[in-house]
A and B are shown apart, each in its own frame.
Chain A
Amino acid sequence: MPLETFPTGPEPDYSGNAKGDRVTTPMYEDPAIFDAEMKKIFETTWVWVGHESEVPGKGNFKLSWVGTQPVIISRDRKGEVHVFVNRCRHRAATVCEVKKGKTSSFQCPYHGWGYALDGSLRAIPYPEGYAGEFDKTEFGLKPLKVGIFCGMIFASFNFDVEPLEDFLGNAKPWIELFMKQGGGFPVKVLGEHQFKVPMNWKIQLENTTDAYHFPIVHKSFLQSLDGETNQTFSFMDDDDGYVEDLGNGHSVMVMMPELIDLDENLDAPIPERFAKLAESLAAQGYEDAKVRKIVRAVGGCGFNLNMFPNIACSLSFFRVLRPVSVHETEIRHVALGMDGGPIEANQMRMRLHEHFQGPMGFGSPDDAEVWERVQRGSAGAGDMDVMVHRGLGLEKQSGNGLPVGDISAETGMRSAYAKWKEMMA
């Protein structure tokens, strides 16, 4: 039988692996499910690729990923942001291997095909080797649809995808609140920590909306804080935190309700750990209201906004996940600061970021350890389910008509898995 007529049968339906209050073990283990996820989720919906401050000017570019596929974010001469696959249309070589920078074009190193900043093919060497007129318009770099909200750049392989603002939906006001940590300045990427973990990507997706683990996994981080700051992180013992399903797989976990809106409570006493910074800003001539606004912004927000499938606005940084294979995920913790803000304020933001985040932070390595342990444990008793039912039966309803659980409820995980189920059907 010739290959093209070989019956392939219907595509398997994996959606039943998400069962509401639990998910099956193959969700972490089955390479076929992973392949289906790359197609049905990462090639279908909006995926976060970068922040506008990473391509601030004309000719600036940055390499990124959509699922397992390498892409380039590029700002053209008119200032417009493009995202295209980092693959020459001739024989597939990457056209760029510089992580970020500035250029006037992208040239394939193999046969010299040259592309403009908008991805269009500009010139090829020796065009006379092709019969007739070589039509350059047919061979631009493969573009993705681009959407930008509050500086966050999303891309999609699916040109029929719903508008970005509809996709973000109830997450939008939380993104706007998150961006207030610019303290009146535009939010800017200051750098990033990157580490890979031998785990399925959904283990990380769950974790950003998991407050339950915090006092256990991060005990050694909490021990390193002063008393007042330790109090700020005592959300598991307080009763005012909550997790809210925002729909579309997104959720928000509010750990410190007093830090939802950084423009509020500006008259509150300045915490001890920011006293020196406040003093110094005042000495530099910043007026009191401005000092308070900057200092409050330096500490970051009091919530994790978890957006399906790959980006979170977590307290004071972007938490980005990238699936590599069913057993491997890359994590990036992107540090944010104030573009044009006081040097000391940005220094303090970076020091706070370094304290918890990254390959040698006081928090991330312990997260990475338990995530790997989840993957290792999933090798056993594959017929058993992974439970995400904490808080079920105790939830209330939000103004959006969606579930709200207490701070330790697994409401956000159920939200993400409901979206997963819908997209995998």
Chain B
Amino acid sequence: MKDVLTDTEITLDAAVKFLWQEADILDRHDYAAWLPLWTEDGMYVIPTDTQTTDFANSLNIVYDDAEMRRMRAARLSGGFSISAAPPAQCVRTLSRFVIEDQAPGRITLRSALHVIEDKFGRQRLFAANVTHELVATEEGLKIAGKVVHLLNADGMLTSISYLF
């Protein structure tokens, strides 16, 4: 990723490779590797309100700035959370990429996410529309914003011990 220049166009190919790398990191629950993928001011949001874009004034499932992300990663990997020690195993695919916006050094991608988790011999399925805002930095691509619109976000879910 080091060869991405901050003022040139981010290609779909480079963006998708980056997102698949993130997906693999999340399936491996490797949060130490996940945190540096973000810009310091990026927000990670999983809303309950399927209509709003005003996340600050809505109740969300996740509404994380950098500090909350660090605490969340510490919780999930610290070994003191019974739901995450061990977490459900999960396998995800990210596909159906749509470029929503593009400018030099910046791209917004919408994609389809399917996650299957396995724990206690039962499997659960989640589907979501995910929007990633990526920026090119000196250190390569970074996530400047991510919103995960779970299907049934305003309905009955189950508890989740990993990240989308």
Q: Interface residues, chain A, CB within 8 Å of chain B?
A: 99, 190-198, 217, 219-221, 223-224, 330, 335, 343, 346-347, 350-351, 353-355, 358-360, 362, 364-370, 372, 376
| Residues of the B chain whose Cβ atoms lie less than 8 Å from the Cβ of A360 | 46, 61-62, 159-160
Q: List 12 A-B contacts (CB under 8 A).
A: A220-B78, A221-B75, A223-B74, A330-B156, A347-B57, A359-B160, A360-B62, A364-B159, A365-B81, A366-B82, A368-B83, A370-B82
Q: Please determine whether B83 and A194 come into contact, CB atoms closer than 8 angstroms.
A: no
- Among A99, A190, A197, A220, which residue has its beta carbon within 8 angstroms of that of B59? A190
Beyond A346-B57, A376-B120, whether A369 also contacts B158 by CB under 8 A is no
Beyond A365-B83, A368-B159, whether A353 also contacts B61 by CB under 8 A is no
CA of A347 to CA of B46, assembled, Å: 16
Q: How many Å from the CB of B114 to the closest CB on chain A?
A: 17
CA of A194 to CA of B160, assembled, Å: 12
B6 part of interface (Cβ distance < 8 Å): no
Chain A contact residues: helix, strand, loop or mixed = helix
- Among B63, B82, B157, which residue has its beta carbon within 8 angstroms of that of A351? B63
Q: Please determine whether B60 and A354 come into contact, CB atoms closer than 8 angstroms.
A: yes
Q: Which residue of A lies closest to B81 (CB)?
A: A220
CA of A358 to CA of B154, assembled, Å: 12
Q: Please determine whether A99 and B62 come into contact, CB atoms closer than 8 angstroms.
A: no
Q: How many Å from the CB of B4 to the closest CB on chain A?
A: 31
Beyond A343-B57, A360-B61, A360-B62, whether A195 also contacts B74 by CB under 8 A is no
Q: Please determine whether B59 and A359 come into contact, CB atoms closer than 8 angstroms.
A: no
Q: Which residue of A lies closest to B49 (CB)?
A: A191
| Residues of the A chain whose Cβ atoms lie less than 8 Å from the Cβ of B82 | 217, 366, 369-370
Q: Which residue of B lies closest to A99 (CB)?
A: B154
Q: Which residue of B lies closest to A371 (CB)?
A: B159
Beyond A350-B59, A360-B62, A366-B81, whether A194 also contacts B156 by CB under 8 A is yes
Q: Please determine whether B63 and A195 come into contact, CB atoms closer than 8 angstroms.
A: no
CA of A359 to CA of B122, assembled, Å: 17
Q: How many Å from the CB of B37 to the closest CB on chain A?
A: 19
Q: Which residue of B lies closest to A194 (CB)?
A: B156
CA of A365 to CA of B80, assembled, Å: 12
Beyond A224-B74, A224-B75, whether A369 also contacts B83 by CB under 8 A is yes
CA of A355 to CA of B83, assembled, Å: 16
CA of A335 to CA of B59, assembled, Å: 8
| Residues of the B chain whose Cβ atoms lie less than 8 Å from the Cβ of A217 | 82
Q: Please determine whether A362 and B72 come into contact, CB atoms closer than 8 angstroms.
A: yes
Q: Please determine whether B59 and A365 come into contact, CB atoms closer than 8 angstroms.
A: no
| Residues of the A chain whose Cβ atoms lie less than 8 Å from the Cβ of B68 | 355
Q: How many Å from the CB of B73 to the closest CB on chain A?
A: 11
| Residues of the B chain whose Cβ atoms lie less than 8 Å from the Cβ of A355 | 68
Q: A360-B61, A368-B158 are in contact. List 7 more A-B contacts (CB 8 A).
A: A99-B154, A191-B58, A197-B159, A347-B57, A355-B68, A359-B158, A369-B161
Q: Please determine whether A354 and B57 come into contact, CB atoms closer than 8 angstroms.
A: no
| Residues of the B chain whose Cβ atoms lie less than 8 Å from the Cβ of A358 | 61
Interface residues in B105-126 by Cβ distance below 8 A to A read 120, 122
Q: Which residue of B lies closest to A368 (CB)?
A: B159
The 7 closest A-B pairs by CB, nearest first: A191-B59, A368-B159, A365-B159, A220-B81, A369-B83, A365-B83, A219-B80
